[in-house]
Amino acid sequence: MASTPITTLFVDVGGVLLTNGWDRAQRQRAAERFGLDFDEMNERHHLTFDTYEVGKLSLDEYLDRVVFCQARPFSHEDFRTFMFEQSEPYPDMIKLVRDLKARYGLKVAVVSNEGRELTTYRIRRFELGSFVDFFVASCFVHFRKPDADI
């Protein structure tokens, strides 16, 4: 039986190419940095985040529901900047994916659950578009993994 050659490599962004986009540890750091009640913020996050990730809310709308549901001594921009600064690359993984793409002529597809602003920031900041051929992000396709429709 002849084997079918592999033509496409499917990877995630968070936890594979980069750190997670906005996970529990990052939210905990944000609560500490901005003097927020983590449990309250986390509860609001869980009620809202899926809607943000599938592209039905902007980041500012998400933040209005989760953080700015009351007056704060800091701005949306301050908080967004902190969120974005939590993203760090995994250079060895990025190199591995680049090398596999070059060596085997693979297409690289990213499948991820992230909101639009965070996704576009991470694509630009870490130049993911220089080696990724397709981005299938929940915010663009309006479905989240592991939903079969994604």
Interatomic CA distance for residues 139 and 112, integer angstroms: 9
- Looking at 59, 85, 111, the residue that finishes a domain is 85
pLDDT digits (tens, 9 = 90+) for 66-111: 999 999 999 999 999 999 999 999 999 999 999 999 999 999 999 9
- Residues 122, 96, single domain; the answer is yes
What mean pLDDT, rounded, does the chain reach? 94
**Domain of 67, in residue numbers:** 24-85
> Which range, of 24-33, 35-44, 55-64, 135-144, averages the lowest pLDDT?
135-144
Q: Is residue 1 part of a domain?
A: no
Residue 42 pLDDT grade (very low, low, confident, very high; cuts 50, 70, 90): very high
Q: Is residue 148 part of a domain?
A: no
Q: Is residue 77 part of a domain?
A: yes
Q: What is the CATH number of the domain that holds 92?
A: 3.40.50.1000
Tokens 């500490």 label which residue? 32
Count the domains in the chain.
2
In the prediction, which pLDDT does 1 show? 63
Question: Radius of gyration (Cα) for the chain, nearest Å?
Answer: 17
Closest CA to 136 of 115, 108, 106, 111: 111
Q: What is the pTM of this model?
A: 0.90
- Residues 81, 34, single domain; the answer is yes
